[in-house]
Amino acid sequence: MLLGACLGQSATPASTPLPPTATVPPSATAAPTVSPTSTPLSPIAVQPVEGMPTGTDGFPWWNDTVFYEVFVRSFYDSDDDGVGDFNGLTAKLDYLNDGDPQTDTDLGVTGLWLMPIHPAMSYHGYNVTDYYQINSQYGTLDDFKRFLAEAHQRGIRVLIDWVPNHTSNAHPWFLAALDPQSEYHDWYIWSDEPHGEDWYRAPNGQYYYGFFYSGMPDLNYTNPAVTAQMRDVTRFWLQDVGVDGFRIDAIKYLNDADRSEHSKATHAWLKDFRPFYKALNPQALMVGEVWDSSGLVADYTAGGDELDLGFDFDLARATVFAVGARRNTLFNEILARDLAVFPRQQMAIFLTNHDQDRVMSMLGDDVPRAKLAATLLLTAPGVPFIYYGEEIGMLGKKPDENLRTPMQWSAEAQGGFTTSNFPWRGLNSDYANKNVAAQQANPESLWAAYRNLIRLRAEHAALRVGETYVLDVGKSDTLVAMLRVTDDEAVLIVVNLGKEAISDYALTLDNGPLFGQYQIVPLLGAGDFAAPTVTASGGFTDYQPAPELPATSTFIVQLQPVP
C-alpha cells in the first residue's frame, strides 16, 4: 500500500449529505446499496479464457507466469494529454508480448498487474470514488475491455488493483454516511470521541477511523452490507468485465480498528470470501499485499483457504541486499526458510515495487549487478513480478511520484511517452541514453538480459515449478547456487555476486533427487563445464561445474541424463 500517498482534495459536503452517485454495476437495478440480509450469490460457471495456460505439473497457472506491474498513468499516452491511458497500453502490448514465441522484440511477460484504474481523488488511485468505473483520464470502460481482449489474445492475463480497505472521503458512500440516519453511516467506523491517531473529525462532529490518512476512511467490515457490496464489485470485474484476478491492497488492515493488523476477523473474512470468488471463476487469482515478515504473509496462504499468493517482501529485500552488498548469506538463508514457510512455491517474488526506491537506484545504476538481480528473481521459485521500467534500469527514489515516472521508450522528446510538452510528471533526465529502443538494439543490454531470462523460464519447467535445492557453497560468501528439478529436468543456477573471479570453490548437495550420470548443456553463459558425480544420496560433493567463475557472472546449465 502507498504509505506516502499524495493527499487528494477532500470534499466538504453541505449540511445535507449528497446521495450516493457511484456507478451501478450493469447487473444491478437500484442504487449500489446492499441489505444486510442479502442472500448469497449463486455459483456461476466461468470457462477459462481460450488459449490460456492451466498449469505445469499440477501447479496453478500463475506459476507458469511472469507478471509485469504497470502504472497506466506512466506507460504510454495515446491522446497527447500527458497522461498514459488504456489505448496507449493496448498500443504497447506487442512490446510486452506479441503472442508469437518466434519473435525476439517483445519482453515475453504473460501477466499484468495494473495499479488502480478506478476514479480517485489522487494521481495514484488508492482513494477510490467509484469501484465500477474507469478513471476518465485513462479512457472508458470500453477502452479497458478492448485492451483486455487484446491482452488475452496474446496469452496475457490481467490483474487489477483492488482497494477494499478504504474509500476516498469523497466517495458518495462516505458523503452519505455523514448523516447518522443514513443506511451508509454504518459502512464506516465512527466514534463520538477520537481514540488516538488515525481518527479524524468529520463535518458532522463525529470521528471516523482512517488508518492511512484522513482522505482514506476505512470501511466497516463488521457490517454485512459492506461485504455484500464488495462481492458485487468482485463479481462485476471477474464476470461482467472478465479480468483474471486482483492484487488486493493493504489486506492485513481489513478488520483493523485501532491498528490491529492481521486480525482474526480479517482471516475469517478471507475464508468466507474465497469460496465466493472461486465460484465466479475457479482460475481467478487473488494476490495480497501483506507487507510484513514471511511467516505472517504465509498465514494468508498456508491453509489454502484465503489468498492464492502473498508478496514475499523478505525475499525481495534479501535479493536486492545480496546483489548490492555482494554477499550471499541473507539471500541463501531467506530463500531456504521461505521455501519451508510458503506452500508449494505460492509466493509472489519481486525486487521492488511502486512503494519502494527502484532497484537500479539501490544498486547505484550498475548494469552488471542489475543483471544479477534479474537472474536471482527469474530463476527463483515462486511467481515473479517485474515493475515497469525495471527491465531498462529506470531510476527512482522517494518521494513516491519519483518512483512512478513515465516509461522511457526512446530518445525522442519526452522519451516517446507523449507528444505533449507537459507530461503528468517529468521524465528521468537519463531517458535519452536509457530507453527501450536503445536497449532493444543492444544484445548486451539489461533489457536483453530480462528478455532472455523470461524466455528461458518459459522454455524450462524446472525454472518455473521445479523443486528448489539451495546448495552449500562452502567457504564462499559471494556464490549463490540453486538446483531446480522436475521429474523431467534438472537445471543448475550458479551466480557469482563478487567483483573477483573465483576458482577455489565447491558446491555440495547432501541429499538430492539426482540419479545416474549426467551431461551438461549450457543454457545461459559460456564455459568449459563438467558434470557432477552423483552420490548414493542423490546429491554431489565438492562439485565444480566450471574451473573459474568470472566476477559478477551467471551460469545456467541443464543436467541431462546420459542414456
Would you please indicate which residues are annotated as catalytic (active-site) residues? 249, 289
Cell of 523: 543454457
The answer to whether 388 touches 354, Cβ cutoff 8 Å, is no
Of the candidates 313, 312, 381, 385, the residue with the CA atom closest to the CA atom of residue 344: 381
370: enclosing H helix or E strand: helix 367-379
Of the candidates 513, 520, 510, the residue with the CA atom closest to the CA atom of residue 561: 520
Distance CA 532, CA 524 (A): 18
The answer to whether 57 touches 381, Cβ cutoff 8 Å, is no
DSSP string, 300-357: TTTTSSS-SEEB-HHHHHHHHHHHHHT--HHHHHHHHHHHHHSSTT--EE-S--TTS-
At position 426, the amino acid (one-letter code) is G
Q: What's the CA angle centered on 112, arms 107 and 115, to 5 degrees?
A: 125
Distance CA 37, CA 58 (A): 39
Could you tell me if residue 552 is left (phi over 0), alpha (psi between -120 and 50 degrees) or otherwise beta? Answer: left
Cell of 463: 525454472
Of the candidates 226, 236, 240, the residue with the CA atom closest to the CA atom of residue 164: 226
Distance CA 253, CA 260 (A): 7
Of the candidates 390, 402, 262, the residue with the CA atom closest to the CA atom of residue 316: 390
The sign one gets for the Cα dihedral 162, 163, 164, 165 is positive
Distance CA 11, CA 51 (A): 46
Cell of 455: 524466455
